[in-house]
Amino acid sequence: MLNIGDKAPNFTLPDKDGNNVSLSDFLGKKVIVYFYPKDNTPGCTKQACGFSESIQEFENNNTVVIGISKDSQKSHQNFTQKHDLKIILLSDIDRQAIEAYGVWQEKKLYGKVSMGIVRTTFVVDENGNIEKIFDKVKAAQNPEETLDYIKG
């Protein structure tokens, strides 16, 4: 897992339309990079909709919001359309960023152990360094707590 003050690992991943998006594209802005398990599941939908509903406030505070999961571009297209999402969603099918950020971990669900994405949100500062890490994220509260942090 990364620590506050570390250089945020750069990534280049496709968005829902197949355009490559890199973390380094946003130097000079704060970037919320949040990792979530799966499109169209209840918690992930609440989290994405919460970030999307607050996108204007994030933008007013010079902040970009990027959600990353292992879902395909097509899945992201459907998820975005279905919920009218205004945030950037990136597909990390090969787990390039997921592994670099240390969020691919062992998870337990109903006593069953498996590997998966542990919901985690990173705030990357204007210089590309990790400024804040929200781990043990509660999906529904995460957008608001992140916005509160950004607004200081």
Cα distances (angstroms) measured from residue 11 to each of 106, 113, 137? 23, 28, 22
User: Tokens 């919460």, residue?
Assistant: 50
Closest CA to 103 of 40, 33, 41: 33
Per DSSP, the three-state class of 1 is coil
Active site residue 44: yes
Instruction: Check 31, 32, 33, 44 and give the catalytic one.
Output: 44
Which residue in the block uniquely carries the two structure tokens 């597909």? 91
At how many degrees (to 10) do helices 42-53 and 142-151 cross? 30
The pair phi, psi for residue 76, each rounded to 5°, is -65, -40
Q: Which residues are catalytic?
A: 44
